[in-house]
Structure 1
Amino acid sequence: MMFARISLLLIVLLAAGLAAVRWGYYQHESFPDLSGAPLLPSTELETVAELPYPPGNIAVSVENRVFFTFHPEAGPEINVAELRKIPGEADQVVAFPDASWQPGSGKDGALNEVLSLRLFNNELWLLDNGKHGLESVRLLAFDINNGELLQQYTFPRDVFPLGSHANDFRISPDGRYFYITDASLLAQTPALVVFDRQEQDSWRVLHKSHTVTAGDYQPVVQGRAMSLFGVFTVNPGVDGIALDAAGEWLYFAAISAEQLYRVRTADLHDHTLPYATLESRVEALGAKTMTDGMAIDATGNVYLSDLEHSAIVRRRPDGELQTLLRSADLRWPDGFSLAEDGYLYVTCSALHQVIGIPRDEMLARAPFQIYRFHLGRAEQLLNNDG
């Protein structure tokens, strides 16, 4: 997933005062075009919701309840929501767990800024990124049936410092471990973070490793080069993340990095493992698209968004990349959720129409969509061709 709301003043101050902020990223070469002919027609995209603000991330329960965030970058009125389907009526967007928890409500302990959320059983976990570490980063779990706060963890400052960006996360199958990407757009010190729910402990791994660092490409999405003021490129570190069904391998990558990586979760859990040893155990899997959203299915297929070509790509276990779907309607495919019934849900955050854009112009781009399509359709077409 991408970063949350960027204060322009904060950018200017950090850019002027911190050598850690990387400037430019201007490279004459374009990011490699790995797209191919799509297996599915764009008509396979089903509209799940049309929204007044761009959605960020999404989590779909086993009962097909749809929870999502409005992307903080757009300054939404509601940050965390549920799409409630009422028979015979239009779908309703309802604040989750309620309005009092939303940013700016005045409630003690209310959310600061949430981009990513994940489900574990009936627990909806929210990752409050604290506005790029200006406030403490937190994980909060709510019961999806009654909205009760079940658990909360506040990360130490050395785990998520100022300028960090707690971007996206995955939960181990047993619910004990959480794996979080620190995209660190502003501080440019990207890393992975591990949270041990049982021990109530957390730690950074692969801090500033080449495996979590942004590539030297300027993202260009639907014709817009993603730079601010002509000098600062919107190019965060490690962003996309996925965990295999067994909880054995964690897959991850920065948006503009050319490689997809994976590492054994057992190695991430081992506090005694030296930095160099852990980094040497990270496996480079080969080329990928310019990726934000990421997911993996039970057979090991990794699903990647392709921002520059408005597409969804599948990486098969043998490394083959297949373009599943391409459509101009996929305006910055961002958050992925793989549902139990075989649908892949995709949020379109349209960040190229949000970041650095006047608010009135951004709102004029509404509605913003959540889509889904059934992965089984691609298999049917492949089998028919065979």
Structure 2
Amino acid sequence: MMTIDRRRLLLSSAALALAPTLANLVSRSAAAAGADPLETMAESKDTLWNGITITPDGRKFVALPNWLGPSAGAGEIGKDGVLRPWPGNEWNAWKPESDPTKTLVSVNAVRLNPKGDELWVVDSGAPLGGKRLPGGSKLVVFDVATGAVKKVHALEGIFEEPNAAPNDIRIHGNHAFVSESGVGSIVLLDLTTDKLRRVLVKNPLLVMDPAKRPVVIDGQPLKNAAGKPFGTNANQLEVSPDGRWFYIQPLNGGMSRIEVALLTDPSASEAQLTEGLKFFAETPPLSGTAIDAKGNLYLNSVNDRSIKKLTPEGTLSTVLSDPRLRWADAPWITPDGYLWLPIAQLGWTPMLNGGTSKLEWPSPLYRMRLPAA
């Protein structure tokens, strides 16, 4: 389990100027405006975070992946600036001998439900460099107020392939939507019946194409531990605020969408779903997405370290480019118009650099004001 002193965060005031070396990295557009668009809200000295979700009253929960070895899986940034394992018990203390059904083995996403009273945690159940443990692949639903587990949705029964891996989650209406990035598929959980369904397995629009859209880090195509071009299948996903569209893409890019009514129709055949999933927009490799109340998608573009905006009509533009966006992962939009950006640095981890760490510490949590229009 993490110790408090090793996971301490350093909050910085929005009124303080950034250090000169950091200020030199600010994008030209920001410099021209005379202000730094990235406000440092917290810094982690030695722990990577790859997602954030914020309650209506301001509690901040983060996903803590096991990219550097066993981790707590989920944490909360307190008002005192300290990152603590959350809920702070045996769930955060996975070890090889632990029961994988009752610990967080390999968390890739945390997400609040629309009411903000439940924290949903996506656990692939696979230790770093290993295969899924029996019973380890699951969705764990925690009560935000108490930290108690309300429900565990076991996913093992719907995955036939050893490399299937639940990735991210969105909750809308009567369904939870989970992207499965190992093979490339979508998992649907009916919240009224607790029934799970897996659809569009290996659909070409959900499968990565690293040759066409390579992930580029520091000018070089990123490769995995096996020396092959890096990428993942069905990864980023969003549901439009009106509940009409479900968006999804492989990490490597090319966004598609399907109508939610069709996707969640239990009588819809695979052929109908395949017909309904349509290519929507040419997008670059993305490390994270968020959607605002108007249906605009904000995309964390890996290769050029930028934030892009994709409108419901399919128009793509760049909001901000900044070298500090080293794999800005799953962001969160707050009602006051801020985009919160945890810097995950996945492309600089030892597992993607031949065992050599190219990480920069501390790893920040930024927020930026979204454009009004």
Query: What's the TM-score bracket when you normalise by the shorter of the two chains?
Result: 0.7 to 0.9
Write the distance in 2 (CA, Å) between the matches of 1:156 and 1:261: 26
Residue 249 (str. 1) matches residue 241 (str. 2)? no
- CA–CA distance in 2 between the matches of 1:318 and 1:149? 40
2:315 paired residue number? 320
**Counterpart among 265, 274, 277 of residue 279 in structure 1:** 274
Q: By how many angstroms is 1:206 displaced? A: 0.9
**CA shift at 1:73, angstroms?**
1.2
- In the alignment, the residues of structure 2 paired with residue 115 and residue 157 of structure 1 have an alpha-carbon distance, to the nearest angstrom, of 19
- Secondary structure of 2:303's match? helix
Q: Of residues 103, 109, 130 in structure 2, which corresponds to 1:116? A: 109
Once the two structures are superposed, the pairs formed by residues 161-176 of structure 1 within 5 Å of their partners are 161-172=161-172, 174=173, 176=174
> Which of 87, 92, 103 is equivalent to 2:82?
92
Letter in 1 for 2:178: I
- Note closer, same or farther for the CA distance 1:280–1:38 as it changes in structure 2 (3 Å cut): farther
RMSD (Å) for aligned C-alpha atoms: 2.3
Deviation readout 1:141-174 (Å, 9 max, x if unpaired):
11112111111111243336421111101001x3
Q: SS in structure 2 opposite 1:263?
A: strand
- Per the normalisation by structure 1, the TM-score is 0.80
Task: Give the counterpart letter for 2:118 in structure 1.
Answer: E
The partner residue of 1:268 within 263, 269, 290 is 263
Structure 1 residue 198 corresponds to structure 2 residue 157? no
- Equivalent residues in 2 for 1:26-45, closer than 5 Å: 43-45=36-38
Partners of 2:160 and 2:305 lie apart in 1 by: 32
SS in 2 for 1:285: strand
How far 1:182 moved relative to its partner? Answer: 0.6
- Taking structure 2 as the reference length, what is the TM-score of the superposition? 0.82
For the structure 1 residues 373 and 270, does the alpha-carbon distance in structure 2 shift closer, same or farther, using more than 3 Å as the test?
Answer: same
| Structure 1 residues 55-112: Cα deviation after superposition (integer angstroms, max 9, x where no partner) | 11111111121100122212254321000013xxxx1111100142114266651111
Q: In the alignment, is the contact (CA less than 8 A) between 2:52 and 2:62 conserved in 1?
A: yes
CA distance in 2 between partners of 1:334 and 1:301 (Å) = 17
Give the 3 Å change call, closer, same or farther, for CA 201–38 of structure 1 in structure 2: farther
Whether the aligned pair in 2 keeps the contact of 1:103 and 1:113 (CA below 8 Å) is no
Q: Which has the higher helix share?
A: 1
Any gaps of 5 or more consecutive residues in structure 2? 1-26
**1:250 CA drift (Å):** 0.8
Q: Structure 2 counterpart of 1:325, which letter?
A: L
Q: Quick one: which amino acid aligns to residue 147 of structure 1?
A: G
Q: Name the amino acid aligned to 2:50.
A: G
Unpaired segments of 5 or more residues in structure 1?
1-35
User: Residue 92 of structure 2 corresponds to which residue in structure 1?
Assistant: 102
The 10-residue stretch of structure 1 (223-232 or 111-120) with the greater mean CA deviation from structure 2: 223-232
What do the CA deviations read for 1:218-238 (whole angstroms, capped 9, x no partner)? 311233421135732221101
Matches for 1:44-83 after TM superposition, within 5 Å: 44-51=37-44, 52-75=46-69, 77-83=71-77
Match of 1:148 in 2: 148
- Percent sequence identity over matched residues? 24
Residue aligning to 2:159: 159
The Cα shift of 1:45 comes to: 0.6
Whether the aligned pair in 2 keeps the contact of 1:221 and 1:332 (CA below 8 Å) is no
User: Match for 2:231 among 230, 235, 240?
Assistant: 235
CA contact (8 A) 1:143 1:150 kept: yes
Q: Does 1:295 align with 2:290?
A: yes
- 1:358/1:221 Cα in 2 relative to 1: closer, same or farther (>3 Å)? closer
Q: How many residues align?
A: 331
Whose RCO is larger (CA < 8 A, sep 6+)? 1
Distance 2:227 2:322 in 1: 30
CA distance change for structure 1 residues 245 and 227 in 2, over 3 Å: closer, same or farther? Answer: same
Does the 8 Å CA contact 1:101/1:107 hold for their aligned counterparts?
A: no
What SS is found at the alignment partner of 1:256? coil
* Aligned mates of 1:294, 1:111 — CA distance in 2: 24
Q: What is the CA–CA distance in structure 2 between the aligned matches of 1:301 and 1:135, rounded to whole Å?
A: 39
1:219 equivalent in structure 2: 215
- Check whether the contact 1:134–1:162 (CA below 8 A) recurs between aligned residues: no
